[in-house]
């Protein structure tokens, strides 16, 4: 047999062998049938660092009515799946009660339902553990606060706010977080809302209020700042900060170059709140310590949230009857702008009072 013929025969034999192996491999990796339904469970997006989470997974049944098993895993805490509760009831599902360990971090929670001869159904949710307060031990750090700073205690609920004298007024240095019912005369205006409706975020980002709520939400003796209050604060900050080009702002205009002087280079659970942009130099020279809490849109009994890490917005007392006015900062601009929002717009409040 010549070399060429031998090589041809060998090639045919090799191809046939590969085909046989390939067929065996396909047989071995045949896709398993699936269980019926869709597995699901829910957890809050944000929870207190020491919260106990209670979760119930439901939605899966066995096509033939056979028994189902279940496992849970909470990362990064668990190194292996927790199968201590092995039974999954098709009607009531399976529950897990889990105590967070006090760390400000994001947890990945996975549930799996399985049965012999079937592929496993899984569902995954995420929860970020947070801690309130502005003293540097909570989720917000590097905001420029000190335990020796002057503070005001709201007599309505005992919450403490750092304050500062700016432009002949006393300003709150972080966002109002009053949770009580807001009234105007005999009219009930509801409550402020926490970020993503998670109570754990109340003392982290403060609450979001419509302008009507905001105008009635500050403690006695305090108010939502008018444009005159913002103007005096802006001019006082510019006068004391020689790095600012504009030294005399006017009412109702954009405050060019002022944003960095109002912004705190703060972190949330160790991550920067304001994304870096070379156009903006964050100094917080005003001591206002603005953080990028964003805003909310409220409608039909529900809320959507947007703009965190991008916007800081604060109500003013100005309005035209239909739309309220607010001052806002955007992450990539050095300026402080004026915006307007309808009654469904909700954002942060900084209270102010005269000296």
**Per-residue pLDDT band at 248 (split at 50, 70, 90):** confident
Strand, coil or helix: 132: coil
CA angle 206, 297, 328 (to 5 degrees): 60
Q: Identify the CA nearest to 35 among candidates 11, 10, 14, 57.
A: 57
Q: What is the 3-state secondary structure (H, E, C) of 339-351?
A: EEECCCEEEECCC
Give the CA distances from residue 236 to residues 152, 243, 244, 246, 290, in Å, rounded to whole numbers and listed in that order: 22, 13, 11, 11, 17
pLDDT tens, position by position, 124-176: 999 999 999 999 999 999 999 998 999 999 999 999 999 999 999 999 999 99
CA distance 213 to 190: 8
- 49 torsion bin: left (phi>0), alpha (psi -120 to 50), beta (else): alpha
The reported pLDDT for the residue numbered 28 is: 52
Inform me whether the pLDDT recorded for 303 exceeds 50. yes
Task: Reply yes or no on whether the pLDDT at 9 is more than 80.
Answer: no
* pLDDT at position 85: 66
Higher-confidence residue of 344 and 2: namely: 344
- 296 near 214, Cβ under 8 Å? no
Q: Which two three-digit tokens encode residue 195?
A: 């970020």
Rounded to two decimals, what is the model's pTM?
Answer: 0.88
Question: Rounded distance, CA 316 to CA 351, Å?
Answer: 10
Q: How far is CA 290 from CA 68, 235, 245, in A?
A: 51, 17, 21
CA distance 13 to 5: 12
Contact 201, 192 (CB under 8 A): no
Average pLDDT, the chain: 91
204's torsion region: left (phi>0), alpha (psi -120 to 50) or beta? alpha
Torsion of CA 137, 142, 143, 144, to 10 degrees: 100
Range name among 72-81, 154-163, 229-238 with the lowest pLDDT average: 72-81
Round the CA-based radius of gyration of the chain to a whole number and report it.
29
**Amino acid 6: pLDDT:** 33
Q: What is the dihedral of CA 241, 169, 148, 293, to 10 degrees?
A: -80
Question: Which domains are assigned to the chain?
Answer: 36-130 (2.60.40.730), 140-354 (no CATH)
User: pLDDT digits over 171-228, tens only?
Assistant: 999 999 999 999 999 999 999 999 999 999 999 999 999 999 999 999 999 999 999 9
Mean pLDDT, rounded, for 15-33: 54
Task: Find how far residue 168's CA is from the centre of its chain.
Answer: 34
Helices (H), the chain: 3-28, 202-205, 211-214, 227-240, 259-262
Q: Quote the DSSP letter at residue 142.
A: S
Asked if 337 contacts 327 with a C-beta cutoff of 8 angstroms, the reply is: yes
Nearest to 129 by CA among 317, 270, 2, 288: 270
What tokens appear for 177 in the block?
């977080």
Residue in this structure with the two tokens 């060998």, named with its chain if needed:
10
Question: Three-class SS string for 314-340?
Answer: EEEEEECCCCEEEEEEECCCCCEEEEE
Residue 19, pLDDT > 90, answer no
């Amino acid at each position: 047999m010549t070399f060429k013929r031998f090589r041809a025969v060998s090639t045919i034999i090799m191809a046939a062998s590969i085909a046989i192996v390939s067929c065996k491999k396909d047989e071995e990796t045949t896709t398993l049938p699936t269980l019926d339904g869709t597995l699901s469970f829910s957890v809050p997006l944000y929870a207190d660092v020491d919260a106990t989470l209670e979760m119930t997974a439901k939605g899966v049944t066995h096509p033939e009515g056979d028994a189902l098993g279940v496992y849970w895993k909470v990362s990064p805490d668990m190194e292996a799946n927790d199968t201590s509760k092995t039974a999954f009831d098709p009607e009531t599902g399976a529950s897990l009660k889990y105590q967070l360990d006090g760390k400000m971090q994001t947890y990945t929670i996975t549930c799996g339902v399985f049965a012999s001869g079937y592929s496993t159904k899984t569902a995954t949710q995420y929860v970020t553990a947070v801690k309130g307060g502005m003293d540097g031990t909570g989720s917000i750090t590097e905001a420029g606060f000190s335990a020796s700073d002057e503070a005001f205690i709201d007599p309505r609920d005992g919450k403490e706010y750092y304050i500062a004298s700016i432009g002949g007024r006393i300003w709150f240095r972080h966002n109002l977080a009053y949770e009580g019912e807001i009234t105007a005369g005999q009219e009930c205006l509801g409550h402020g809302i926490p970020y993503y409706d998670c109570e754990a975020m109340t003392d982290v980002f403060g609450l979001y209020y419509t302008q009507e709520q905001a105008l009635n939400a500050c403690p006695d003796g305090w108010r939502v700042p008018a444009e005159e209050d913002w103007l005096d604060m802006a001019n006082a900050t510019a006068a004391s900060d020689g790095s600012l080009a504009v030294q005399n702002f006017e009412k109702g205009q954009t405050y060019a170059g002022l944003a960095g002087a109002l912004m705190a280079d703060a972190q949330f659970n160790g991550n920067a709140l304001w994304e870096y942009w070379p156009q903006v130099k964050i100094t917080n020279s005003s001591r206002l310590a603005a953080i990028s809490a964003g805003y909310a849109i409220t409608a039909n009994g529900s809320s959507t949230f947007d703009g965190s890490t991008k916007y800081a917005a604060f109500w003013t007392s100005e309005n035209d009857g239909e739309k309220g006015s607010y001052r806002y900062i955007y992450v990539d601009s050095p300026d402080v702008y004026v915006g307007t929002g309808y009654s469904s717009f909700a954002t942060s409040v900084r209270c102010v009072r005269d000296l």
